[in-house]
Amino acid sequence: MTEMSNQHGRSARYYDAIYAFKDYHHEAESIRWLLGARGVGDGATLLDVACGTGGHLTFLREHYQVEGLDVSPDMLAIARQRHPDVPLHHADMLDFELGRTFDAVICLFSAIGYARTEPLMRQAIARMARHVRPGGALVVEPWFRPDQFFAGRVASRYIDQRNFHVCRMNVSEVAGELSIMDMHFLIGTPDGVDHFVERHELGLWTQAQMTDAFTAVGMTVEAFDDGLMGRGLYVARQPGGDDASRP
């Protein structure tokens, strides 16, 4: 491993409950449409970088030959329970090497932000790009731009389930190109109440910085303002290749 760390440690077991609002099926269908429009059809090979607990893989595997990758062993443990037959790799997006290429590589839910600095973001994009075969596609969902993220914003989530209650709260901070969120968790179970803090630092980059990271490795890129959940989306193509739809 390099600069990335296990951001979701103790909270991993509550991740799916906290993000139950995400419509993974709709997002997977949007990705499928975007890939199909660029010649990557059903049956193609697809790598989900920073796959987390495998929420997108649940639906993408219905159409593609999927694999996943994540730096968090806790998140991967949940993904492996969900998808025991899907190849899942414990690796860092900054330096992973799988020894093969894919028709499509995706990195969703702003995971690229955890690269933290622009040089490391460019390194992660380059690493993903080298795993895209000629004519294939790379889809990256960014974190917020500098003009979209503000210090002093209070955010909270409350989860009420039968066996546990979760309260997650943070106040946002900005330090240079970093957004910082110290996530305070209160977890209530029949055994008692637990409190812990996870620090999340994500890089804030302009659209120009992001698009330049793709073009610097020879890819053509399209930037979409809305994307899957209002944070934007980058869809890049690797040059070359005669048939990006082959399985």
In single-letter form, the type of residue at position 9 comes to: G
243: pLDDT strictly greater than 80: no
| Ordered strands of the 154-160 beta sheet | 154-160, 165-175, 178-189, 192-203
CB 118 within 8 A of CB 177: yes
Q: Which residue in the block uniquely carries the two structure tokens 């077991």?
A: 13
Is 162 in a helix, a strand, or coil? Answer: coil
Structural domains in the chain, CATH included, are 12-145+204-237 (3.40.50.150), 154-203 (2.20.130.10)
Residue range 184-192: mean pLDDT, rounded: 97
pLDDT of residue 241: 78
Structure tokens at 225: 């303002």
pLDDT of residue 141: 98
- Where does the pLDDT of residue 9 fall: very low under 50, low under 70, confident under 90, or very high at 90 and above? confident
Residue range 21-27: mean pLDDT, rounded: 98
Structure tokens at 229: 């959940």
Reported as a single tens digit per residue, the pLDDT across 75-87 is 999 999 999 999 9
**Pairing relationship of beta strands 102-107 and 233-237 according to DSSP bridges:** unpaired
Q: Is 102 buried (19+), middle (13-18) or exposed (0-12) by CB count in 10 A? A: buried
Q: Is 44 buried (19+), middle (13-18) or exposed (0-12) by CB count in 10 A? A: buried
- Where does the pLDDT of residue 154 fall: very low under 50, low under 70, confident under 90, or very high at 90 and above? very high
The Cα 112–Cα 130 span in angstroms is: 16
Reported as a single tens digit per residue, the pLDDT across 99-153 is 999 999 999 999 999 999 999 999 999 999 999 999 999 999 999 999 999 999 9
- Where does the pLDDT of residue 32 fall: very low under 50, low under 70, confident under 90, or very high at 90 and above? very high
